[in-house]
Amino acid sequence: MSQEGLLRPGIAQLRVLDMEEAIKHYVEYIGLELVSREADGRVYLKCFDEFHRHSVVLREADTAGIDFFAFKADGQGAVDSFRKRIEEYGLSVDDVAAGEMPGTGGRIGFTIPSGHRIELYADMDLSENAPETKNPYIWHKPPHGMRAQRMDHCLLYGPNIDEVEKFFTTVLDFHLPERVDLPDGTLAIWMTVSNKAHDIAFVKHDEPGKLHHLAFYLEDWHDIGHAADLLTQYDISRDLGPTRHGITRGQTIYFFDPSGNRNEVFAGGYTAYKDHPVRVWDHNNVGRGIFYYERQLNEAFLSVVT
């Protein structure tokens, strides 16, 4: 797939209540690598199949949630072009200096109509433990925990979903593989800047700036089952699953980190091309769309956010 501009999700910065508990959860259980602890207290993590220095940043705070979600661009020229388009759309853009995160170039940031901060950047150092590129083995050393391959996507809750869709599709060049429509308007949208089923998703919610979940990609259904075994072994709070989505067709299990941030591990999903029609779900079938086997939603899944 020929792709220019934004390439993929790159960084998620989460707020956690207890850093040591969070590190144990994300490193030992989900299987991320601890890259560094920095003087400002933030902790940097990556998955074993990611080339760049880090993808998940933890910041200790009084409330859980997400500080920002960032997308990597194919060069600084693309970032500069997006800045102009974002400002012409009417959103204010600020700068984050190179080096504010170790190994990371300058970033631009802005707040979208749902109340979430989105950032764009072009430059990050490669990891010292990046996947091999010459006669490569599958991995340097056997992955551990749930064997998360990459930070995959997030689902965010907030208002003004129609405006969010317009902004992402007309300004940031995302396309829309799937949506849920209610009689009074749009409930949820799944959007991608690649050919994954989704890179980011939004659900309509009265409170702005909320996180529903941050997702990590696993290899297959067997690994989803392995994740479920670990949740039981270590008494990790499970939300729902293992099951499958009708929307995206992904195989999934949801659970919570020690701060209450919901995580997902996700496998499968269809390939989304820009010329495909949008898949649309109505309010009578949204239960099957979200949980394909159960064919109904549970209240906690809809309402618990950070």
Q: Which residues are catalytic?
A: 153, 198, 213, 245, 254, 264
Identify whether the C-beta of residue 60 lies closer than 8 Å to the C-beta of residue 41.
yes
For residue 227, count other CB atoms closer than 10 A to its CB: 29
- Please give the C-alpha separations between residue 240 and each of 76, 102, 167, 200, in angstroms, as whole numbers: 41, 36, 32, 20
Q: How far apart are CA 31 and CA 48, in angstroms?
A: 8
Cis-peptide, bond into residue 242, ω within 30° of zero = yes
- Please give the C-alpha separations between residue 274 and each of 1, 155, 179, 269, in angstroms, as whole numbers: 10, 21, 15, 16
Q: How far apart are CA 83 and CA 89, in angstroms?
A: 10
